[in-house]
């Protein structure tokens, strides 16, 4: 045995705890990773924390190294960065990203980790999973040079999409959120900002990521004819009601989903590892630091998730630390 580690578990909906776990010695083709940082994906993880994963989505919502089952007890999470302490020579001492739950150390197959480029700080690298979602969304959306694009919802995913869109030549991006304080984040990302009532209309593309029915309705309202909303929100077990009796039909509007669990058919020749490696390369841009909030200690994670779920702790990607820096 390699030794002990500690992991965050959801004991019951709304009740988290830190548990001791035993680590096996890494076998051939495996690595032992000592965690430095993890990130809390606020939207998805608070739905998991409150037990709101629909029964028919239990299988599809499983994280790669999840233990237990929804609604609880379950060990969940997927934004982890650490250092390889044991494993193949090519990985020893390297900082890596892994889609692993919140845990102080873990043993996984070597091909489950991706080396973090030297020009990407370890703390920023926890955003790799979210930037990967944004990459897949833009593969689906395929914006064109000169498009007028709105992103509704300035959470982790929406902000990552906006940050990448800002790099497209001639694309004019507006980030829309009900919280006026998100204007500062938009400014840091180099994109425009508006509250929903003031959002610009006649848009070529709208990406929706607010996870609210009001946000999706506003996204539809902002489109020009024959255009589509790309839906990135995951609503859990919440029903969504839309008013489709007005311009939805006359303007021939569309709603299309995008989900990171499947590589966009537009890039069928690219695998998951390629997409994640691209996300890590993109994170060399320090603009993404605007999306990190916190930090909080790993020992405080049960309280952190409770406050995030209750709305008492404002956050985008909340950073969790595992050692004194």
pLDDT of residue 325: 45
Mean predicted lDDT score pLDDT of the chain: 94
For a pLDDT cut of 70, what percent of the chain falls above it?
Answer: 99
- DSSP readout, 151-205? EE--SHHHHHHHHHHTTSTT-EEEEE-S-GGGHHHHHHHT-EEE-GGG---SBSE
pLDDT of residue 273: 84
Residues 299, 214, single domain; the answer is no
Residues 180, 256, single domain; the answer is yes
pLDDT of residue 41: 85
Q: Does position 226 have pLDDT exceeding 50, yes or no? A: yes
Residues 146, 262, single domain; the answer is yes
In a domain, 278, yes or no: no
Q: Does position 324 have pLDDT exceeding 60, yes or no? A: no
pLDDT digits (tens, 9 = 90+) for 145-203: 999 999 999 999 999 999 999 999 999 999 999 999 999 999 999 999 999 999 999 99
- The domain in which residue 104 lies consists of 3-119+284-321
Phi then psi for residue 199, to 5 deg, are -65, 145
pLDDT of residue 2: 65
The DSSP call for residue 208 is E
In a domain, 109, yes or no: yes
Domain stop point among 237, 266, 295: 266
Its pTM stands at 0.91
Residues 52, 162, single domain; the answer is no
| Whole-number Cα distances in Å, 45 to 27, 129, 184, 186, 201 | 31, 13, 25, 23, 32
* Crossing angle for the helix pair 272-282 and 128-141, to the nearest 10 degrees: 110
Q: Look at the chain and report how many structural domains it folds into.
A: 2
pLDDT digits (tens, 9 = 90+) for 245-283: 888 999 999 999 998 777 787 787 787 888 999 999 999
In a domain, 235, yes or no: yes
Residue 293: CATH number of its domain: 3.90.180.10
Q: Which two tokens stand for residue 298?
A: 């790993």
Residues 180, 254, single domain; the answer is yes
pLDDT of residue 233: 92
Residues 159, 244, single domain; the answer is yes
Q: Identify the residue with better confidence: 61 or 206.
A: 206
The CA-CA-CA angle for residues 265, 267, 272, to 5°, reads 100
In a domain, 271, yes or no: no
Residues 152, 90, single domain; the answer is no
Q: Does position 291 have pLDDT exceeding 80, yes or no? A: yes
Q: Does position 36 have pLDDT exceeding 60, yes or no? A: yes
Q: Does position 1 have pLDDT exceeding 60, yes or no? A: no
- How confident is residue 238, by pLDDT bands cut at 50, 70 and 90? confident
Which of 294, 283, 288 is CA-nearest to residue 325? 294
- Alpha helices by DSSP H, listed for the chain, are 42-49, 128-141, 156-165, 183-189, 213-221, 247-250, 272-282, 301-310
Q: Which two tokens stand for residue 37?
A: 């940082």
Looking up tokens 């489709």 gives 244
pLDDT of residue 260: 77
Alpha-carbon gap, residue 57 to 146, rounded angstroms: 38
Q: Which two tokens stand for residue 54?
A: 């629909």
- How confident is residue 42, by pLDDT bands cut at 50, 70 and 90? confident
């Amino acid at each position: 045995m390699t030794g002990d580690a500690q992991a965050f578990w959801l004991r019951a909906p709304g009740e988290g705890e830190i548990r001791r776990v035993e680590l096996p010695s890494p076998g051939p083709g495996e690595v032992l990773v000592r965690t430095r940082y993890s990130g809390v994906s606020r939207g998805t993880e608070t739905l998991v924390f409150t037990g709101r994963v629909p029964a028919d989505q239990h299988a599809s919502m499983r994280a790669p190294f999840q233990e237990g089952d929804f609604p609880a007890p379950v060990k969940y999470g997927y934004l982890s960065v650490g250092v390889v302490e044991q494993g193949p020579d090519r990985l020893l001492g390297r900082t890596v990203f892994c889609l692993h739950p919140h845990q102080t150390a873990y043993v996984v197959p070597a091909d489950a980790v991706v080396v973090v480029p030297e020009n990407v700080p370890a703390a920023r690298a926890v955003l790799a999973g979210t930037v990967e979602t944004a990459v897949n969304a833009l593969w689906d959306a395929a914006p064109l040079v000169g498009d007028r694009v709105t992103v509704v919802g300035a959470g982790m995913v929406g902000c990552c999409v906006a940050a990448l869109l800002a790099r497209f030549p001639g694309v004019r991006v507006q980030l829309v959120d009900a919280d006026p304080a998100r204007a500062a984040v938009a400014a840091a990302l180099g994109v425009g900002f508006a509250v929903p009532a003031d959002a610009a209309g006649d848009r070529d593309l709208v990406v929706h990521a607010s996870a609210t029915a009001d946000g999706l309705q506003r996204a539809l309202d902002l489109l020009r004819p024959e255009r589509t909303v790309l839906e990135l929100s995951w609503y859990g077990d919440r029903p969504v009601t839309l008013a489709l009796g007005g311009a939805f039909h006359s303007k021939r509007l569309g709603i299309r989903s995008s989900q990171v669990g499947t590589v966009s058919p537009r890039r069928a020749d690219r695998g998951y590892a390629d997409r994640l490696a691209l996300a890590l390369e993109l994170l060399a841009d320090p603009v993404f630091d605007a999306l990190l909030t916190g930090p909080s200690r790993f020992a405080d994670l049960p309280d952190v998730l409770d406050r995030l779920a209750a709305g008492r702790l404002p956050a985008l990607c909340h950073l969790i630390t595992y050692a004194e820096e």
